[in-house]
Amino acid sequence: MRLILLGPPGAGKGTQAQRLVEKHGIVQLSTGDMLRAAAKAGTPIGLRAKDIMARGELVPDEVVVTIVSDRVDEADARNGFILDGFPRTVPQAVALDRMLKEKGLKLDAVIDLKVDLSILQERIESRIADAKARGGPLRSDDDPEILKKRIEAYRTQNPALVDYYQRLDTLKSVDGMAPIPEVASAIDRALGATGL
């Protein structure tokens, strides 16, 4: 099964992706995680991405497209994958289509987690405060001002992306405001409806 999970920062993509990974024996490909790992490892791509991410801006399309393409070729992705955080722009979606075609792979569904953007800032700020209180790990972009930019990047890019997948008839919208188990059931229903 090959899926895309769309949704703003703090929409619960990671939580839902993790459940789908366990349920379907597929891997989660999070471009954010991949870029942070590359930055930590000090690879050329990572070094390029590090400051951009810290500012809450988008990394150039060709950088993310390359890391996704390489990752999809790895053995553990053969059974399927769930893309989380990619594509974020229409050019990335077009590049993904081309890439999958070249690899002889097909996308099964695109799930769009719909969340009220006005509550996101609050939700993530409390997640940041919790992590701080617990002395847990914080990301360099876990900062209220940067967060505003990340949400703004989403607000700018997402409508065209949703449009793109709507036209291809692969889009399933799910209410991301409901409690986690309900969102999970709604995703299952949406996937069931596509015959997966």
Q: Which residues contribute to the site for ligand ADP (CB under 6 A)?
A: 9, 31-32, 35, 52-53, 56-59, 64, 85-86, 88, 92, 141, 150
CA dist., res. 189 & res. 194, Å (int): 9
Out of 55, 78, 103, 127, which one is annotated catalytic? 127
Q: Among residues 2, 50, 71, 88, which one is catalytic?
A: 88
Residue 8 CA to residue 85 CA, distance in Å, equals 9
Is 189 in the active site? no
Indicate the burial class of 157 (C-beta count within 10 angstroms; 0-12, 13-18, 19 or more): middle
As a whole number of angstroms, the distance between CA 97 and CA 112 comes to 17
Reply yes or no on whether 88 is catalytic: yes
Per the annotation, the verdict on 13 as an active-site residue is: yes
Catalytic choice (2, 36, 150, 172): 150
Tokens encoding 97: 């289509």
- Closer to ligand ADP by CB, 34 or 171: give it: 34
C-beta of 69 vs 194, nearer to ligand ADP: 69
Rounded least distance, CB 151 to ligand ADP, Å: 8
Nearer to ligand ADP, 36 or 172 (CB): 36
Which residue has the closest beta carbon to ligand ADP?
32
* 139: annotated active-site residue: yes
Q: What are phi and psi of 135, to 5 degrees?
A: 70, 20
Closest to ligand ADP by CB, 100 or 196:
100
Q: What is the DSSP letter of 176?
A: T
State the minimum distance, in angstroms, from the CB of residue 104 to ligand ADP: 23
Q: Does the annotation count 123 as an active-site position?
A: no
Angle among Cα 60, 62, 64 to the nearest 5 degrees reads 75
CA angle, residues 15, 17, 19, in degrees to nearest 5: 75
Q: Among 2, 13, 50, 172, which one carries the catalytic annotation?
A: 13
Catalytic residues: 13, 88, 127, 139, 150
